Structure 1
Amino acid sequence: MTQQGVVCRGDQVLWSEVQMADSFLDRLQGLLGKAGLADQQGLLLTACGSVHTAGMRFPIDIVFLDADLKVLACHSRVRPWRLKSCRGARVTLEVAAGGVERHGVVSGQCFTWRVASLRP
């Protein structure tokens, strides 16, 4: 993964440990091989309007976003071996199951992405 950052809604940080997958290989790898995600972790897949959970070992929440990071659709607690897509989506956010509900994420909200600050 190339960058780590935070996903915000306005001034509120929703997920503080999000990896950006902006290359074909990073998107292909996705969350495969991981045992799970902590509440603050996520994966932001660029150039991505559909995802699968084949081979995964845990459920996730999936948020489809347009090019401006406006929420188009949310899918909660998607189990392994499923396929989800969204017309018009350009970016997909995968987070721990329950994150969408916990943060009250719904269609129409706008997110921002910030690269994490480097610590000295």
Structure 2
Amino acid sequence: MGREMRRIRVQALKNQAVIADKCHVAECFIDRLRGLIGRRLEPDGGLLLPKCSSIHMWFMKFPIDVVFVKVLNTDNDNVRYMVTSVHASVKPWKALPLSDWKATDTLELPEGTVARSALIAGDELCTS
């Protein structure tokens, strides 16, 4: 994924399913602005965009699943989230931005992750 970003594991609390085993965290402005543009997404990967409640799909080359989340609490590097909305198979070059103003962060995942893990709004996730 270009320059090194911190990696975390994202897991669903309801069934302990691993949502993303190798999720990169885009902590700086440039990484958040670039997102997945020009990057590949590993099958067990993801990209967490902190302090981001709106994304675009311009210049993207592949569809992704998008999960908007709200921080519930933080304990050192471990964060607990509540899913505020889920968008499966968001296509590249989607004309309008995708947003959820209830969310604090955005999780971009490989297409099919939402269906495989049965994520829905209200689910809780944790990172480690």
Is the structural similarity TM-score above 0.5? yes
Root-mean-square deviation (Å):
1.2
Q: Tell me the alpha carbon deviations over residues 90-109 of structure 1, each in whole angstroms, 9 at most, x when there is no partner.
A: 01000011100110000000
Runs of 4+ in structure 1 over 4 Å off: none
Matching residue within 104, 107, 123 for 1:90:
104
1:37-116 matches, within 5 Å, as 37-68=41-72, 69-82=81-94, 83-114=97-128
- Gapped runs of 5+ residues in structure 1? 115-120
- Gapped runs of 5+ residues in structure 2? 73-80
Once the two structures are TM-superposed, the CA of residue 87 in structure 1 deviates from its matched residue by 1.6
Matching residue within 16, 19, 22 for 2:27:
22
Q: Percent identity?
A: 35
User: What TM-score do you get using the length of structure 2 for normalisation?
Assistant: 0.83
Count of aligned residue pairs for this structure pair: 113
Q: Tell me the alpha carbon deviations over residues 8-42 of structure 1, each in whole angstroms, 9 at most, x when there is no partner.
A: 112432210100011111101110102x4232110
Query: 2:8 and 2:52 mapped to 1: Cα distance?
Result: 18
